[in-house]
Structure 1
């Protein structure tokens, strides 16, 4: 079973948060606030935070910019993962991914099923990698952000998590781009 090995030193990583919304601003971005609070409380560094409208090209451009920034290790977006016409965050993420982390959406659905039952089927949470940077798209509700962080990301982004975690392979995500 998974666990935190307290004999290993914690490694802080740099995380950017993107809220996708046509109607929210920083003053009422509850989901972004949840993520920022959990990131900081865990000991990680908030590298940047933005809010963008539900515009696929703008979202993808921001994701690419953050993935090209060597001072950002992880990007977490919230909002725009539903089924309505303006929900384009998943498509923007997939425009950017080099590799998709298929099991992220599956595990998120399992976690959500325990909280909201079959309504979990309406989420399209996703994860992927680009240019040595992890990207995760979460639903726009504060509850979904809490669940994703508390049950998945908070653990996988902790170097001490065993038997394995995202942080320990972070230095090798872009090994295919390095000169041999």
Structure 2
């Protein structure tokens, strides 16, 4: 009996939330696209939107309604300023919150940025069978989140468990 698992590529959409970024200087979005494609996944779509909770919510809603998009990664808008609203825009869409994501991300970030990690409001959840991860806007934070947390959980070969193996059951009621 073969107990080896094979890699399952996922379709992943990337949203950069920023009032100042354009494609040419979107280092965080580029970091995520590089990492997800190097891991063997497919970029379903990439967008840049301003810090506007309604535009963010509308775009993420389109992606979670699309059965071809399995994961959404957002970068930006998770801080504390008045314009930072990604968690408020997206978390209302969650059917379930993945509480451990923010907790573990901040614990990992502690090693790199110490107490500054408390300013991160990174969140994750599941909406309509789609995983959503909201990351800070720095490329360093995106590298940390992907390399040390998300990559393994989006790899079916990760043991003892991973998020991919749960996908067939996410829409159970």
| TM-score over 0.5 for the pair | yes
Deviation at 1:7, TM superposition (A): 2.9
When the two structures are aligned, how many residues end up with a matched partner? Answer: 171
State the Cα deviation string for residues 112-144 of structure 1 (Å, max 9, x = none).
Answer: 001111110000000011100000100000000
Distance, in Å, in 2 between the alignment partners of 1:170 and 1:49 is: 22
Correspondence list, 1:149-160, <5 A: 149-160=146-157
Aligned pair 1:17/2:14, yes or no? yes
Residue 172 (structure 1) aligned to one of 147, 169, 172: 169
Partner of 1:118: 115
Question: Gapped runs of 5+ residues in structure 2?
Answer: none
Q: Where has structure 1 moved over 2 Å in runs of 4 or more? A: none
Partner of 1:38: 35
Residue 140 (structure 1) aligned to one of 137, 149, 153: 137
Partner of 1:3: none
TM-score (norm 1): 0.93
Residue 81 (structure 1) aligned to one of 70, 75, 78: 78
State the Cα deviation string for residues 68-126 of structure 1 (Å, max 9, x = none).
Answer: 00110000000000000000001011121111111100000011001111110000000
User: Secondary structure at 1:103's aligned position in 2?
Assistant: helix
Aligned pair 1:130/2:112, yes or no? no
User: Secondary structure at 2:110's aligned position in 1?
Assistant: helix
Distance, in Å, in 2 between the alignment partners of 1:97 and 1:34 is: 25
Distance, in Å, in 2 between the alignment partners of 1:57 and 1:137 is: 16
Partner of 1:7: 4
State the Cα deviation string for residues 8-64 of structure 1 (Å, max 9, x = none).
Answer: 210001100000000001111000000000000000010000000000011011111
TM-score (norm 2): 0.97
Partner of 1:70: 67
State the Cα deviation string for residues 141-165 of structure 1 (Å, max 9, x = none).
Answer: 0000000000000000000001100
Aligned pair 1:98/2:71, yes or no? no
Distance, in Å, in 2 between the alignment partners of 1:94 and 1:148 is: 18
Query: For the aligned residues, what is the CA RMSD?
Result: 0.9
